[in-house]
């Protein structure tokens, strides 16, 4: 990692915890559940990333493979073809840093070489045996997300999160990834039943003892729309009000970073939340 990337990485990490921070989602895929195909063309992806940065996100997370249930796996070469030019261009021109959403070690290494400062691994270092060493070697910040291949409604979700995070953090420690570079993500909507998703948000504070910033990615998840009372529009993936409600609940429980599609609305809502929480001791971020 170049010196300028290290500076951007450290500046981003230092922002976490002071105020709620928003991550903008950029899916360079044909099949993501919410916006698949919209930003597959490089010019559309770049335009959207710049718009999200102007709306106040602190980092843009670029994904080249859909992680929705039932999505088709993508070869490393195809994933790199989709994201490579976009990562390189945005790392040079965007006023905020770039993260890459991948569980493949080779993609992570190439992404950082192109200018990314963080790797968002939806399998928390446990899918690709080379990922921990890859992240350590390129000095990237890291999101460890909880995931399961199958749902199991008998599990206590927090106990399962802790077992998963303990394994991932042990892998990170053995590889030499500094603790200060690591964020945790409970993986809302990934391998969890509806009650487990609710519990993961409601009991988020039980993960505070890890001492790592918490990221929440509940954006446009269909399940939360189903919680809207009968008689109102409900159950659709585009329910902005559901996502904002979950994000605010997570912020109250201690989450630091919010991975969302709708950046402007979340920046505004979280700024108001933060101002109220701190009783006006500092103005909302511009």
Catalytic residue list = 221, 259
Tokens of 118: 């963080």
Residue among 61, 241, 33, 251 at smallest CA distance from 140: 61
Q: Which residues of 180-202 are buried (b: 16+ CB within 10 A; e: fewer)?
A: ebbbbbbbbbbbbeeebbbbbbe
* CA 200 to chain CA centroid, nearest Å: 16
Q: Which residues of 8-19 are buried (b: 16+ CB within 10 A; e: fewer)?
A: bbeebbebbeeb
How far apart CA 177 and CA 13 sit, in angstroms, is 14
Tokens of 15: 């922002």
Residue among 13, 132, 30 at smallest CA distance from 71: 30
How far apart CA 16 and CA 14 sit, in angstroms, is 6
Tokens of 108: 């992570």
Do the strands 59-63 and 98-101 form a parallel or antiparallel pair, or are they unpaired?
parallel
Check residue 96 and report its DSSP letter.
S
């Amino acid at each position: 990692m170049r010196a300028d990337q290290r500076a951007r990485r450290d500046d981003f990490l230092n922002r976490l915890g002071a105020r709620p921070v928003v991550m903008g989602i950029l899916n360079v895929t044909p099949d993501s559940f919410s916006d698949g195909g919209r930003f597959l063309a490089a010019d559309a992806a770049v335009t959207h990333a710049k718009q999200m940065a102007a709306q106040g996100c602190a980092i843009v997370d670029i994904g080249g493979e859909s992680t929705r249930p039932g999505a088709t796996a993508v070869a490393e070469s195809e994933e790199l073809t989709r994201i490579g030019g976009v990562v390189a261009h945005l790392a040079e021109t965007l006023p905020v840093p770039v993260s890459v959403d991948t569980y493949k070690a080779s993609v992570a290494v190439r992404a950082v070489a192109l200018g990314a400062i963080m790797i968002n691994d939806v399998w928390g270092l446990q899918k690709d045996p080379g990922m921990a060493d890859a992240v350590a070697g390129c000095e990237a910040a890291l999101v460890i997300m909880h995931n399961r291949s199958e749902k199991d409604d008998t599990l206590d979700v927090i106990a399962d999160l802790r077992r998963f995070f303990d394994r991932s953090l042990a892998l990170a420690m053995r590889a030499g990834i500094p603790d200060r570079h690591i964020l945790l993500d409970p993986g809302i909507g990934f391998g969890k039943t509806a009650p487990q998703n609710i519990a993961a948000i409601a009991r988020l504070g039980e993960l505070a003892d890890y001492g790592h910033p918490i990221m929440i990615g509940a954006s446009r998840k269909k399940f939360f729309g189903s919680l809207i009372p009968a008689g109102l529009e409900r159950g659709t993936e585009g329910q902005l009000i559901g996502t904002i409600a979950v994000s605010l609940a997570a912020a109250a429980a201690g989450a630091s970073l919010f991975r969302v599609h709708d950046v402007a609305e979340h920046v505004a809502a979280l700024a108001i939340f933060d101002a109220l929480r701190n009783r006006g001791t500092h103005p909302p971020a511009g």
